[in-house]
Amino acid sequence: MKNIKLFLFVIFLISFLCVIFFQSYATLYIVKDQDGNNVCITNQESDISKYKALGYIIISIKSSSSKQSPEPVENIIPKADVVFIASNNRLSDSGNYIYIEGIIKNKGKGTAYHVNIKVESFDKYGKLVALNDGYADPYTISPGQESTFQIMVTYDSKISTHKPVIVWYNSP
């Protein structure tokens, strides 16, 4: 009888420990930078607000008996959306350069930092002939704000098309 009681106690103890150690209901947080690189993994919920304030992306993984895939808790940094409002090309007075110039606007909810306009120049066959770039003025654009740009491209009779592309960062 003692053996049965001891056996039942051991079974109960093992079951209880399995529930405690293998059925954790903790939440793990994966902290990622804007490039998608892992910064850290933590279960300290108090640290998450600090990471959010610094602009990191937080992914929450809740542990439970059911399997679930991690889902982003929220993307903390509001995204900028910089678009062309107007642009044109003009030949310089000397005829040696083409100025690609225009106006861009941030229609997003976040600030666009280090706004750069890249100009891809193609020949009549669609082959990339030249690549030039320059910063917008101002190069930090708040939501709703407009900015101007002017990129100087050396004149080449082979170039038939210029394609400007806007590049920016969502954090400084």
Q: What pLDDT, in 10s, does the model give residues 60-88?
A: 776 554 445 554 545 556 789 999 999 99
User: What's the pLDDT tens digit per position in 91-119?
Assistant: 999 999 999 999 999 999 889 999 999 99
- pLDDT for the residue 104: 96
User: What's the pLDDT tens digit per position in 118-158?
Assistant: 999 999 999 999 999 999 999 999 999 999 999 999 999 99
Which strands sit side by side in the sheet containing 57-62, from one edge to the other? 38-42, 27-32, 57-62, 71-75
Structure tokens at 87: 């642009």
- pLDDT for the residue 73: 47
- pLDDT for the residue 25: 55
- pLDDT for the residue 66: 47
CA distances from residue 172 to 34, 89, 111 in whole angstroms, order as listed:
11, 30, 9
Question: How many other CB atoms are found less than 10 A from the CB of residue 5?
Answer: 9
- pLDDT for the residue 111: 92
